[in-house]
A and B are shown apart, each in its own frame.
Chain A
Amino acid sequence: MISLLFIFLGSIFIAGIINRTTANFSGRKGQGIFQPIKDIIKLLKKGSVYSSVSSFVFKIAPSVYFSSVLTAVLFIPFGSSGALLSFDGDFVMFAYILALGKFFMIIASLDTGSSFEGMGASREALYSMLAEPAFFILLGSLGLLTGFSSFYKIFYFIHNAYSASSYISYTIGIMAALIFFALGLIENSRMPIDDPKTHLELTMIHEVMILDNSGFDLGLILYTGCLKFSMYAALAANLFLNPYFPFYLNIVIFIGIQFLYGCFIGSIESFSARFRMNQNPQVIFALSSVTLLVFIAVMILTGKFNY
């Protein structure tokens, strides 16, 4: 329950934090921190325009997308106080439910019959497919490290499974957190994979997929983006929570990492340029190889090389 609460809280702030960070770096004062969420609320209250080409798929897709992320959020624990849904192998379901949401967004953008949106859909399908192995190898190695295979137990025991090596577990935690951060960037098609701030049609992946969405649907999609950011930040935060810390400290860590993630995205967007589209697969492959490094580190740590 607590994790759900804090992820919702984070999702309200995170877009504002990103905007504020970029504004600060470019020397502007920037909009209020609640402005993005105010925009979303405004959109939710508006009427909609549907393309005459589109069908029922287009109408249900945003709801499915939002529901998929919402259901996925229910799997995420908060340190010792558990997740709403937890069982062995829940992270497999987590990934596949997210994939279902993506499936619907992709076919919804094909439903409009627009060439722009087809282009975005094609890339979204490819890049999210390429990013999947990184997530699974990472969770596999964390599972190997702790000996468990559910989010809750992995995060509960990550610093306690091998008592002598807490420094190493924190090192692995930092690497894993960076991977989660990067996955969040890819999943949300942010810099440096794609630049969401360009004029809509020139954006290459996510923004161009939702050109035809309006009103409630658009608001839902935008909010889902925020929720997704917060969700990946929460996964990263869980790597540093420790059931033996006092409760308030865990809360501070959790919120701190959410904040940090916002700043991280903001600073990347200020200081880096978008990759060329054909380089994106390489970037994602590089991410997977970093994950393999984590896996090998865990192998060494658990003494599997001795066989």
Chain B
Amino acid sequence: MSKLYSTLTAAVIIIVAAVSSYPAIIALAGGEQHFVLNAGFVFGPLPFMIDALSGFMILIINFTVITCILYGRKYLEHYHDMVSNINLHLFLIIVCHIAMLLVCTVQSLPGFLVAWEIMAISSFLLVIFEYWKKDNLKAGLNYLIQSHIGVLFLTVAFIWVIVITGSSDFTAIKLFSQKVPVPVSITLFILLFIGFGFKAGFVPFHTWLPYAHPAAPAHISGMMSGVIIKLGIFGILRVLLLIKSDFVIMGSIILIVSMISGLYGVMLAIIQHNLKKLLAYHSIENIGIIGIGIGMGTLGIGLHNNYLAVLGFAGGILHILNHSLFKSLLFYGAGSVYLKTHTLNIEKLGGLVKSMPKTSAFFLIPALAICGLPPFNGFVSEFLIYSGLFTGLKSLNFSFSIFVLLAICSLVIIGGLAILCFTKAFGIVFLGSPREKYPEELSEVPNSMLFPKFLITFFLIGIGLYPKVFLLSIQNVIGLFVPDMFSGGNNIFASQIDILSKVGLVGGLFLLIILIVYSVKKIVEKRKSVYESQTWGCGYVAPTGKLQYTASSFVKSYVNLIEPVLSIKKNDIVINEVFPKELKYESSPYDKIEYYLIDKNIKLIKKLLFKLYFLQNGKIQFYILYGLFFILFIILYLNIEFIISQLSSFLRMF
């Protein structure tokens, strides 16, 4: 029965995707569309717009949600005894999909908030699919609360705009920023940036992310990391399109926050033991990379440096697409691992490549792509950002050059750390021999689960080898931000496309060389003796899986280096006796920002609220008394003028 429903859901999603993709493609080709729908007596006529940016986001959303449902319907089959739960889950995927499409298109401020809210709540319910696990519920609530803090910031900003301009259309933001002095519009920008930053997962608003992603089922993690957090980025981009303020300051803000996000995300990702948590921190890192691109582009607009603007936005926007592809694929891979081994603890895994070769390959490819290695798609967007930064280094003045150098360094370090992280993730989980006995015999996941992965992989390699098409298709999106990118004698965009086609060609050449070298090897080896033996153990011939390097030991030298910056909880054991008893050592990574920003403040608030605890004493008489007080207060308040006049006339008598 639930199979029928899942097929039905997939069909509905594909229909919705097809219907919404059509105007999106037209918009991406340059045909901006406006229409007004009558939304009843609450909202009245609700304006919609699909421009190139919305179209771009809609296409990404559609693709990711389709792969999500194709993978998810097979993933959910493992929970076959919970029919009603699954049916609700499937329905909510449709709701979330439509809400995301609305977020991209609605042009009224209150309407946007409603769509945003539907998206937040439906995704919250999607996250807590396994609600009976306490940790998952906690993670889900954490997500719900934090995303509402974000909504709070958005609401304040929107109300401010509506009050000042008297209009509730998106263009009111533009009016607002033209009306007020620069510091005020920057304040508005910061409010909106924080509001959207919560969704996007910029540091320090990221703390919900590493909990929500591991808690959610794999396909939902993929969708959340792939598109929902990107809608935060979409919000920021939309604001940048509307607000007319000092772009240099806004660009600097975005750039600084993004550099910190990128570095902090990957630094923490390395020390994670939970595969999905590791991927979640990588989302923060990639949001940072996207932000570096966008921040650089904004800086370029402010400094009237078209090179910087075009390359920054091109890199950032392309990276939105790229990250949605490889991150969802990585999460699906982690999901397959979880289904078969029932654990996500990296330290307990190992040697999966033997029994799940296809899953391993579909994890290796996005792992390479997320590290930004050629010839995959991650490299193309990072290359664009690098090109922009190196040009910026030359054309900007001293202080901005230093700024750009910092951005280059952080991008390089992010790339290097990502390699450390994914050699760990892939090497420890899939390679070597098993570290512990698995609960059941491992086998490859069915082809129907591999199919969506194949779809995504096609784009990973496609963008890497033939970036021209994809860059050309987003040219209108970049054109929104840099209207004069096509004018002038020096056509930056065209020359960059030329360069990128060369990048693609070199990528192809590289693959060809690998193929040639490998076939030479095969031919040479054919005539020689090739046999299998044990791994060389320095003469030791009884190796076990426990002799292998573990994930913690793999990053040990890194942890030693970075420990002052991070916080790692461990119980240091001191051995005093000659014959020590059995001892247990544990270490777990923790997020320092989370500690100082969230935990400490919550403790403080709890302490303050505890002072009012006596009010909640559980005795019904008291509550009735509170009600009486309240009614009394209202009566007094409503008649305040009367009382004052009575009082004054009474006083005048003396």
A277-300 with Cβ < 8 A to chain B: 277-278, 281, 295, 299
Residue of B nearest to A52 (CB): B532
Interface string of A79-97 (1 = CB under 8 A from B): 0000001011100110011
Enumerate chain A residues within 8 angstroms of B368, measured Cβ to Cβ: 100, 103
Which one of A99, A111, A212, A304 contacts B536 once the chains associate, using CB atoms below 8 Å? A212
A228 in contact (CB, < 8 A): no
Q: List residues of chain B with CB within 8 A of the CB of A295.
A: 405
- Cβ A64 vs Cβ B431 within 8 A: no
Q: Number of A residues contacting the other chain (C-beta, 8 Å)?
A: 80
Cβ of B362 to closest chain A Cβ, rounded Å: 14
Q: Is the CB of A137 within 8 A of B510?
A: no
B531 to chain A, nearest CB (A): 6
Which stretch (A118-126, A179-187, A255-263) binds chain B? Answer: A118-126
Quick check: is A245 within 8 A (CB to CB) of the other chain? no
**Contacting B518 at CB < 8 Å: which of A47, A63, A97, A126?**
A63
> Once the chains bind, are B557 and A126 in contact (CB under 8 Å)?
yes
Are B533's CB and A103's CB within 8 A? no
| Among candidates A87, A100, A128, residue contacting B502 with C-beta atoms closer than 8 Å | A87
Residues of A contacting B419 in the complex (Cβ-Cβ under 8 angstroms):
99, 102-103, 106, 125, 128-129
Interface status of B543 (Cβ within 8 A of chain A):
yes
* Residue pair B557, A113 in contact (C-beta under 8 Å): no
Output the least CB separation between A164 and chain B (Å): 19
Q: Would you call A133 and B413 a contact (CB within 8 A)?
A: yes
Bound together, the chains give a CA A217 to CA B354 distance in angstroms of 21
Inter-subunit contact B374/A93 (CB<8 Å) = yes
Within B426-455, which residues are at the interface with A (CB < 8 Å)? 426-428, 431-433
Contact A121 B416 (CB under 8 A): no
B561 close to A281 (CB less than 8 A): yes
- Whether B502 lies near A113 (C-beta < 8 A) is no
CA distance A129 to B374 in the complex (A): 17
A107 close to B405 (CB less than 8 A):
no
The CA of A207 and the CA of B427, in the complex, are separated in Å by 19
Q: Which of B391, B417, B431, B503 contacts A87 (CB 8 A)?
A: B503
List the B side residues contacting A136 at CB < 8 Å: 408-409, 412
How far is the CB of A199 from the nearest CB of chain B, in Å? Answer: 10
> Please, what's the 1-or-0 string for B362-383, where 1 marks a CB less than 8 Å from any CB in chain A?
0010001001111000010011
Contact A71 B506 (CB under 8 A): yes
B650 at the A/B interface (Cβ < 8 Å)? no
B533 touches A49 (CB 8 A): yes
Q: Are A125 and B420 closer than 8 Å at their CB atoms?
A: yes
B431 touches A57 (CB 8 A): yes
Give the interface segment out of A2-10, A30-38, A139-147, A170-178: A139-147
Give the one of B386, B417, B423, B503 with max A CB within 10 A: B423
What CA separation (Å) do A52 and B530 show in the bound complex? Answer: 12
Q: Is the CB of A122 within 8 A of B554?
A: yes
Q: Are B413 and A129 in contact (CB under 8 A)?
A: yes
Chain B's closest residue to A58 (CB) is: B431
Given A92-B386, A113-B433, verify A52-B533 contact (CB < 8 Å).
Answer: yes
Let me know if A68 is at the binding interface, CB within 8 A.
Answer: yes
* Chain B, interface residues (CB within 8 Å), range: 35 or more
Q: In the complex the two chains form, is A113's CB within 8 Å of B432's CB?
A: yes
Q: Whole-angstrom distance between the alpha carbons of A119 and B543 in the complex?
A: 16
Task: Decide if A143 touches B502 in the complex (CB within 8 Å).
Answer: no
Across the interface, B513 reaches (CB within 8 A) one of A49, A71, A113, namely A71
Kindly state whether residue A66 has any CB partner on chain B within 8 Å: yes
Does A249 interact with chain B (Cβ within 8 Å)? no
- Interface membership of A26, Cβ < 8 A: no
Give the distance in Å from the alpha carbon of A88 to the alpha carbon of B390 in the complex.
Answer: 10
Q: Determine if A114 and B510 form an interchain contact, defined as CB atoms under 8 angstroms apart.
A: no
In the complex, residue of chain B having the shortest beta-carbon distance to the beta carbon of A55:
B353
CB distance from B64 to the nearest CB of A (A): 26
Residues of B within 8 A of A118 (CB): 548-549, 553-554
A268 at the interface (CB under 8 A from B): no
> Which parts of B530-557 form the interface with A (CB within 8 Å)?
530-538, 543, 545, 547-549, 553-557
User: Which single residue of chain B is at the shortest CB-CB distance from A125?
Assistant: B420
Which of chain B's residues have a CB closer than 8 A to the CB of A110?
423, 427-428, 431-432, 549, 554
Q: Pick the contact of B373 from A100, A217, A277 — CB < 8 Å?
A: A100
Closest to A150 in B: B499
Asked if B432 and A129 make an inter-chain contact with CB atoms under 8 angstroms apart, the answer reads no
Chain B contacts for A99, CB-based, 8 A: 371, 373, 415-416, 419
Q: Assuming A47-B525, A50-B532, is B557 touching A67 (CB within 8 A)?
A: no
The reply to whether B393 and A143 form a contact with Cβ atoms under 8 Å apart is yes
Check A66–B517 contact: CB distance below 8 A.
yes
Chain A residues lying within 8 Å of B417, measured Cβ to Cβ, are 129
The answer to whether B557 touches A278 (Cβ under 8 A) is yes
CB neighbours (8 Å) of B579 from chain A are none
User: Smallest distance from the beta carbon of B360 to chain A beta carbons, Å?
Assistant: 8
In Å, the complex CA distance between A96 and B507 comes to 11
Contact check, B420 vs A133: say whether CB atoms are below 8 A apart: no
For the complex, give the distance between the alpha carbons of A126 and B560 in Å.
11
For the complex, give the distance between the alpha carbons of A106 and B383 in Å. Answer: 24
- Complexed CA–CA distance, A155 and B259 (Å): 31
Q: Known pairs A67-B517, A103-B422, A129-B413. 17 more at Cβ < 8 A?
A: A53-B351, A54-B535, A55-B431, A68-B510, A99-B373, A99-B419, A103-B371, A107-B364, A117-B549, A121-B549, A126-B557, A128-B416, A133-B412, A211-B536, A216-B521, A278-B557, A299-B398
Interface on A for B, CB 8 Å cutoff? Answer: 44-57, 60, 62-64, 66-68, 70-71, 74, 85, 87-89, 92-93, 96-97, 99-100, 102-103, 106-107, 110-119, 121-123, 125-126, 128-130, 132-133, 136-137, 140, 143-144, 147, 149, 201, 211-212, 215-217, 220, 277-278, 281, 295, 299, 304-305, 307
Which 10 pairs show the lowest CB-CB distances between chains A and B?
A: A118-B549, A129-B416, A110-B427, A47-B528, A113-B432, A47-B529, A307-B397, A51-B535, A111-B431, A63-B518
Give 24 pairs: A residue, B residue, CB < 8 Å, sorted on A: A47-B528, A50-B531, A52-B532, A55-B354, A57-B353, A64-B514, A70-B513, A87-B503, A88-B499, A99-B373, A100-B373, A107-B427, A110-B427, A110-B432, A113-B432, A113-B543, A121-B549, A125-B420, A126-B557, A212-B535, A216-B525, A216-B528, A299-B398, A305-B398
Q: Which residues of B come within 8 Å of A, CB atoms?
A: 350-351, 353-354, 357, 360, 364, 368, 371-374, 379, 382-383, 386-387, 390-391, 393-394, 397-399, 401, 405, 408-409, 412-413, 415-417, 419-420, 422-424, 426-428, 431-433, 495, 498-499, 502-503, 506, 509-510, 513-514, 517-518, 521, 524-525, 528-538, 543, 545, 547-549, 553-558, 560-561
